[in-house]
Amino acid sequence: MSEASQAAANKPPAPPWALDVRVIAQTAGVDPERGLSAREARRRLQRYGPNRLHHRARRSVLAVLLAQFKSIIILLLAVAALLAFAFGDNVEGTAVLAVIFLNAMLGFGMELRALRSMDALRLLGSVEATVLRDGEAQKISAAKVVPGDVLLVEAGDRITTDMRLFEANRLKADESTLTGESLPASKHCAAVPEAAPLAERSCLLYKGTHVTRGSGAGIAVATGMNTELGRISALVAEAPDETTPLERRLSGLGARLTWLSFAIVLALVPLGLAAGRGLVEVVKLAVVLAVASVPEGLPIVATIALARGMRRMAQRNVLIERLAAVETLGATTCIFSDKTGTLTENCMRVESILLEQGEVLLPPDRSIFELEGQPLEAEPQSTLRRLLEVGVLCSNASLHHGHADEQAVGDPLEIALLVAADRAGITEADLDGVWPEVREEAFDPSTRMMATLHRSAEGIRVAVKGAPEAVLAVCERVATPSGARDLDDAARDAWLERCQEAAREGQRLLTAAEKLVSHSDEPAYAGLTLLGIFAMRDPPRVGVRDALQACRAAGIRVAMATGDLAETAAHIAKQVGLCENPSAWTVQGSQLDADPLEGEALGAVLRAQIVARCSPEHKLRLVQLHQQHGEVVAMIGDGVNDAPALKRADIGVALGRRGTQVAREASDMVLRDDSFAGIILAIEQGRIIFDNIRNFVVYLLATNASEILLVAGATLCGLPLPLYPLQILYLNLLADVFPALALGLGDGRPDVLSRPPRPRLEPVLTRSHWRSIAAWSALLSLSVLACFATALLLGWGPQRAASVAFVALAIGQVLHVFNLRRPGAPLLVNAITTNRWIWAALAVCGLLILLAVYLPGLASVLKVVEPGAEGWGLIAIGACLPLLLGQLYLWYRSPAAKRLA
């Protein structure tokens, strides 16, 4: 065999779009006129399997439950509970297990509700396909379509396989979920070059798209995961599940606290033995203090804070699948958004109509026409009305009047014309009765025009629409308010200039013309009268501009990643306010193919606000590059082509109404009303939640550390125990939880969206927070230790003195919540004092403290005795002194104090 022959033999087969349909049929072993036999179809179904995608497995109820226990803090508490039971302290062990159970049930309930809400968003009902089997057309479940099946499609059908067309009658398909292009793609039967990109493979229909116009027939060349949609779904499956920044931060905090617990045990055992205490007593105390170092309330309060944020967002149509994902948006530094259906409506609208007498505007918020600021009526025989009638007559779309549950069907451009005519009360049904259609000249790419001929009492009315330069070239007259006049070259050039000006603004144009003839066989494209030009646009979503401004104010960069041309993307970017000079901030998706990507090329990609001609692989790499350079990335999208990047991003945000099933399953969050503005609410809630989590962690650790320092200080001073083990658990499990929970439910500071995002690697607690924890805990413990020592000096006995220390520390910990206001915030009106949950927590804690003292059974278990009037006076001093000193310190750090200095 010659080298040429061997090379030809080794050459991979050409893809279906590059092959003649007869070769496709021969390879598939099917007769396009009869389709497969039922027997052959069953055989192929066994061989290739059902025509389904491999969806991401939903988490089971058991998996959601077990996930609640995957926390270092929970594991530490479980160990502490086991040790308590081992020492015979069943009350302490039961109390710790109660905390673990409560946290698990809270998290389980909220995540299970979210899981069920996400399931409800899945597509309902089975999709059917029309196939040719044994020479007869029949409807079957889409899952039973096999490679080689002959499929028949028409307007409104959802495509269930990748299919090679051998028949196309004015066929157009909406492929925006794959390509990002908002306008339908025209389809025909001729093969295209092998190197043609997906958006230019005009002889193929793809699974997941739908037919907007015409009809056709084709051969299934791929099913299930072998389709283009399946390939993208595989990219989603390959993208690893990312842990959120909050999960990483809390995990890091848990690891630190683990080592702190071990250190406490190792330090206190020899210290206690040296002080003459028994081994069992010392070990029990060390274990209790180790538990005290772990904020038992942290999992509970974090879960409730996240759940409350999730519930708030659900009320605003923002659905969260994972609790921890709520906070991550607060740390977001970069948002990537698709264009079609995300920044825009994915719905063409007529913005204006160019007439001879001027530009007629169609305000989006009012159903009127305006010319030079004044309302304009579409009166009978007026140019405006005749133009709107042509837009309806020369169309194959339908608005389904009277069927509110049905969507408009047809080409989006034609639908836009019908909607514009509907403003004037002009409908397809009314015009069909007056001017029944005689024949149609379908749109021809070579002429770029379409015409329909209609019978009337005066003769045959010819309605024409098409590209401006094409229609203008065959117009001889132009309609004016005073009647038609000749359209000379100068006037034609003036119209073309108006068209070019509108095109530069990113509008899509369709020109309408008409004429009256006596016979239906007369040429349609000659001797026409120009009526005017429809100027259309895929409008920005409501609230997008304001949302982008809010993102900039919050220090978040927003970029557009789209499959559209750079020019189209630039127009949208200017319109929504993404950037003022789009050309300076635009890169092509192909620039991401460079390997390695470095230097100025890398810098351009990282700075870009528009990435045009962006494929699914490009979007995925775009997210990865920004994550590698320290960004917390959110990806917003609705199409299949967004899914891999949605899953890879720190937070994937899908659109609920227009979003595809693949996109929703790859996401952490769904905007149920498709409002881009919902992202701002999510970012605000995310930041508030993290601030609240940080506040209550500082509070919990400071109060818990004060217990450790109090016991350690008393031991070092040779004093009796100021706190008993069960008293410490009582403080941690009850008194600390309620103020911490109240902090977690705060409404946040008013400037939460006016500051930049946190650094990606910033922990929950920074060094300054640890210093604050050390200072506050030292202040609390020294004040209570002084009370304890004073009580002993007064001869009150160890149990009464310990009761004074217990109550003083409990009240001091509760009042310490007021020391967490921001320095410089007003003393009486601030985020703490205006939080109604704080006052509720104070009331509950006050009641619990009184019960611990005066409820006989509880007081006996806790070993608390009534402190007496003098004891309560000492308690008041020890509990209030840290609050007074704390408020003086906050005033000292305030701007007012600095100005006085």
pLDDT(121) > 60: no
CA distance 855 to 864: 10
Q: How many CB atoms lie within 10 A of CB 241?
A: 7
Task: Give residue 107's pLDDT.
Answer: 63
Q: How many CB atoms lie within 10 A of CB 243?
A: 12
| Mean pLDDT of the 468-481 span | 95
Burial group, residue 403, by CB count within 10 angstroms (0-12, 13-18, 19+): exposed
- Residue 306's pLDDT band, with cuts at 50, 70 and 90, is confident
Global pTM? 0.66
CA atoms within 13 A on the CB side of 420: 34
pLDDT(273) > 80: no
Q: Give pLDDT tens digits for 543-587.
A: 888 889 999 999 999 999 887 778 778 888 888 888 878 777 889
pLDDT(67) > 90: no
Task: Give residue 40's pLDDT.
Answer: 94
Residues 6+ apart with CB under 8 A from 595: none
273 to each of 302, 497, 728, 818, how far by Cα in Å? 38, 96, 21, 38
pLDDT(404) > 50: no
Task: Give residue 848's pLDDT.
Answer: 92
Lowest mean pLDDT among 84-98, 281-295, 365-379: 281-295
Locus of tokens 């309902």: 124
Residues 6+ apart with CB under 8 A from 381: none
On whether the CB atoms of residues 348 and 418 are closer than 8 A, the answer is no
pLDDT(346) > 50: yes
Q: Give pLDDT tens digits for 733-753.
A: 665 678 888 888 888 877 788
CA distance 808 to 814: 10
pLDDT(150) > 90: yes
Residue in 149, 174, 338, 638 annotated catalytic: 338
Task: Give residue 122's pLDDT.
Answer: 42
DSSP 539: P
On whether the CB atoms of residues 342 and 655 are closer than 8 A, the answer is yes
CB environment 326-364: b (16+ within 10 A), e (fewer): bbbbbbbbbbbbbbbbbbbbbbbbbbbbbbbbebbbbee
Higher-pLDDT residue of 715, 484: 484
| Mean pLDDT of the 196-202 span | 86
Task: Give residue 359's pLDDT.
Answer: 94
On whether the CB atoms of residues 704 and 737 are closer than 8 A, the answer is no
Mean pLDDT is highest, among 8-12, 108-112, 297-301, 860-864, for 860-864
CA distance 776 to 819: 9
Q: What SS3 state is found at 317? A: coil
Task: Give residue 405's pLDDT.
Answer: 38
Higher-pLDDT residue of 462, 330: 462
Smallest CA-to-CA distance from 668 within 618, 703, 692, 633 is with: 633
| Mean pLDDT of the 477-503 span | 92
Which helix (H) or strand (E) is 669 found in, with range? Answer: strand 669-671
| Mean pLDDT of the 615-625 span | 86
Task: Give residue 149's pLDDT.
Answer: 96
Dihedrals phi, psi of 376, to nearest 5 degrees: -125, 125
Task: Give residue 249's pLDDT.
Answer: 67
Pairing outcome for strands 528-537 and 475-478:
parallel
Q: At what angle do helices 767-793 and 868-892 cross, to 10 degrees?
A: 150
pLDDT(117) > 60: no
Task: Give residue 123's pLDDT.
Answer: 43
Starting at the earlier edge strand, list the strands of the sheet with 557-561. 318-320, 669-671, 651-655, 633-637, 334-337, 557-561, 610-612, 586-588
Task: Give residue 282's pLDDT.
Answer: 73
pLDDT(514) > 90: yes
| Mean pLDDT of the 507-528 span | 92
Mean pLDDT of the chain: 83
Lowest mean pLDDT among 667-676, 696-705, 891-900: 891-900
Higher-pLDDT residue of 235, 119: 235
On whether the CB atoms of residues 643 and 615 are closer than 8 A, the answer is no
Tokens standing for 857? 């059974």
CA distance 65 to 347: 42
Q: Give pLDDT tens digits for 250-260.
A: 666 766 766 77
Alpha helices in 215-244 (DSSP H): 228-238
Lowest mean pLDDT among 111-120, 357-366, 673-682, 815-824: 111-120
pLDDT(774) > 70: yes
Q: Give pLDDT tens digits for 218-233.
A: 999 999 889 988 887 6
CA atoms within 13 A on the CB side of 361: 10
| Mean pLDDT of the 878-888 span | 94
Lowest mean pLDDT among 55-64, 348-357, 742-751, 883-892: 55-64
- Residue 118's pLDDT band, with cuts at 50, 70 and 90, is very low
pLDDT(11) > 70: no
| Mean pLDDT of the 869-897 span | 89
pLDDT(406) > 60: no
Tokens standing for 219? 């051969």
Task: Give residue 82's pLDDT.
Answer: 81
Task: Give residue 733's pLDDT.
Answer: 65
Annotation says 338 is catalytic: yes
Mean pLDDT is highest, among 493-502, 704-713, 745-754, for 493-502
Task: Give residue 297's pLDDT.
Answer: 58
CA distance 55 to 295: 39
Higher-pLDDT residue of 161, 156: 161
Task: Give residue 780's pLDDT.
Answer: 95
